[in-house]
Amino acid sequence: MKNAEQLTIYVAEGDSVQGKLLYRALIDAARQSGIAGITVMRTAVSYGQRDRHISVDWMPELAMQMMMVLTAIDQPEAIDRYLPQVQALVKYGLAIKEPITVVHHAPVLPDQLAQPTPQLTPLQNQENAMTDFERLTIYVGESDQWQGKPVHLALVEEARRHGLVGATVVRGVTGYGKTNHERIKFLGIIELSSDLPMVVTMIDRTDKIEQFLPLVQDMVGGGIVVRDAINVVHHAPIQ
């Protein structure tokens, strides 16, 4: 499966469809579509196009407003089979599709190879994807500061202030970086958990990312910023 695709879906934790939490409905639809596997991550800080309030995981009253990030990796025909269901289920959210190279995976079972290749609809054609979008992925430490505030939170606040469509932060459970390479940090070990890696993701049109990037570069003193072009295949109406 060297030539594969990754579909990343952003939805709110509390969103529901037909009496079921939306992210759970998306998992069920992925299984029914024959997707090899799907991963769900809950963000630590986020805001989206519909709800411009910044939600943080340490405030219980905002718990159901946190963004959930679902990632599915499979062959292009499997992703194409799943995508129409994503578009039908997700009223408010964002989905992006990108080609990837899988360098290792578990053996594919015979019944997985037997999945039929469907006739693609116009919604599924690559040419319908919006390619004038970019993604900023920013890796910082949880204890990194900017003007007296945690930099991951400051980045989200500045993204909202500058009108970016949305931003999410996922907290790592372990890791090390350039500024703390002597010791590997672990979630759950109090004396080592104060500088866990935080991954900030922002998605918007290329011109908005271009305008925002200089501020990001000024704010991030001890991390890494990655910028890449993406194809948006589904989104809520952008104001």
List, for residues 163-180, the tens digit of each pLDDT value.
999 999 998 877 665 555
Residue 128: pLDDT band by 50, 70, 90 thresholds? low
Q: Please tell me the distance from the alpha carbon of residue 44 to that of residue 46, in angstroms, as a whole number.
A: 7
pLDDT value of residue 205: 95
pLDDT value of residue 130: 73
Report the predicted TM-score, pTM, of the whole model to 2 decimal places: 0.81
pLDDT value of residue 172: 84
**66-105 b/e (C-beta count within 10 Å ≥ 16 → b):** bbbbbebbbbeebbbbbbbbbeebbebbbbbbeeeeeeee
Above pLDDT 90, what percent of the chain?
57
Averaged pLDDT, 121-125: 41
- Of 18-27, 76-85, 108-117, 227-236, least confident by mean pLDDT is 108-117
pLDDT above 70: residue 107: no
Structure tokens at 162: 């500058």
135 in Cβ contact with 152 (< 8 Å): no
pLDDT value of residue 175: 65
pLDDT value of residue 119: 40
pLDDT value of residue 33: 94
pLDDT above 60: residue 110: no
Residue 45 neighbours by CB under 8 Å, 6+ apart: 54, 55, 56, 57, 152, 153, 156, 167, 168, 169
Which domains, and CATH codes, for the chain? 3-130 (3.30.70.120), 132-235 (3.30.70.120)
- Of 64-73, 115-124, 133-142, least confident by mean pLDDT is 115-124
- Where helices occur in 184-238 by DSSP H, the ranges are 206-219
pLDDT, tens digit (0-9, with 9 covering 90-100), for 205-227: 999 999 999 999 999 987 899 99
